[in-house]
Chain A
Amino acid sequence: MIEIRHLDKYYGSHHVLKDINLKIEKGEVVVIIGPSGSGKSTLLRCMNYLEPIQSGQIRIEDQPIGMIEHKGRQQEMPQKALNKMREKVGMVFQNFNLFPHLSVRDNITLSPLTLGKMDKKEAKETALSLLAKVGLADRAAAFPDQLSGGQKQRVAIARALAMKPHVMLFDEPTSALDPELIGEVLDAMKELAKEGMTMVVVTHEMGFAREMADRVVVMDQGQIIEIGSPDVIFKNPAQERTKVFLHKVLTHS
């Protein structure tokens, strides 16, 4: 489903992602954890090419996204092709990034309507059924600033799903939420995982990782240092750095 090969990314001279190799299968839930600054969000953002990369390859469903080979040289793919690829990849942001000037329903229907994926009636119905799915059927007419953080994030999930993505990326979806609102967002994500959605999740919620992840990817200093089942990672990690990190986050939760 997603295949990343020898990905390198720099911010100026700062080497933020170092030779990343990762393969994610269809239907898999992969959780990426690691200390802040380890590059996990950056890696996730590379997967739909919100972040340009300097070398390497990212393929989604066996098609390249972002960089393509052209006459033996790596170059950025045409914008139209990139937009097309991004339709397959839903993304949920830490800060929700809902469109504040649009109602909840219009947030969801904007993209399918603008891109001619659905007619008005179908888009409306899709929005309502997605809202029902995340437990917000009654808030279709509300504006984002009338919602709690947890509700905003659930709308953001519904908005991403409206494009019928084949994979969903979650970039610290609960980090901006008050503690009592985290559960409702995680529940919506669990629901999605149970339906078989391919998901890549960057999170500090170790409970979610333990319960839902098929595999856990541990990153540190721009590298993947360990990949394994939640059982192995949380109970018997191979790397000392994984132990140190988990010790720090788990002793306080």
Chain B
Amino acid sequence: MTLDFGVLMQDGNLPLLLQGLWVTIRMTFLALILSCFIGLVVGLGGMSKGKIISSLSAVYLAWFRGTPLLVQLMLLYYGLAISLNIDFSASVAGVLGLGMYSGAYVSEIVRGAIQSIDRGQMEAGRSLGLSHWQTMFKVILPQAVRRMLPPLANEFIALTKNSSLLSAITVAELMRAANTIVADNYRYFEIYLTIAIFYFVVNFIISTLIRILERKLNVEGARS
């Protein structure tokens, strides 16, 4: 059997893949926003002096980092629906699942970046009469965000790739579109190579955008 990329043009295959790509991008983007939000809350919570808040954050991190994403998605989509009657649509379960999983990793990125900022910055803010949170949001976080960008690029790329697991909970994203097509025509190599390139291009764009953002932030502010 020889390679024949002409199959892309048959049976509406390419439009189906592009539709899947669009779903992948949308799901990933929404999950990314959720993941940043959870990451910030759990990351800050993990550093809290309050025992309850910091333990909750630790449990969150341990659970979502310590169990497979595929298992989490199954629990969220099938498990909750059948045992507790909490019936999310596939897309909602997908965004929630991806976002909560990735949020665990982002929380560690947030915590690491904040802890890498010199302790004197918090002291300076406090000595000027600012509260802990005022100093956190006006002084510490703006500096920490710069240090978060490189590891965040890694995490967002992982998130995009992990979105392929949503095919297992019936989300019609890129991977599922490919599965549907190959089930019909057995053109595994052509179809999977095509979606591999799609994923690659999306991730290349993410890493480029973050690099541009990094450079922009460095020009605007100080480099220390």
Contacts and interface: CB of A to CB of B under 8 A. Distances in A.
Interface of A: 48, 50, 79-80, 83-84, 86-87, 89-91, 93, 95, 97-102, 110-111, 114-115, 143-146, 159-160, 163
Contact of B221 (A93, A98, A101, A110): A101
A198 to B, nearest CB: 16
Interface residues of B, number: 23
Nearest to A107: B124
A83 B120 contact: no
A50 B120 contact: no
A79 B131 CA distance: 8
By secondary structure, the B interface counts as helix
Given A50-B123, A101-B143, A111-B129, 20 more contacts: A50-B126, A50-B127, A79-B131, A79-B132, A84-B129, A87-B129, A89-B127, A91-B127, A95-B118, A95-B120, A97-B118, A97-B124, A100-B224, A101-B222, A114-B130, A144-B224, A145-B222, A146-B222, A159-B128, A163-B129
B134 interface: yes
Contacts of A87: 128-129
Contacts of B131: 79-80, 83
Contacts of A83: 126, 129-131
B223 interface: yes
B138 interface: yes
A87 B129 CA distance: 5
A100 B143 contact: yes
B129 A86 contact: yes
Interface in B12-53: none
Contacts of A101: 139, 142-143, 146, 221-222
Contacts of B138: 110, 114
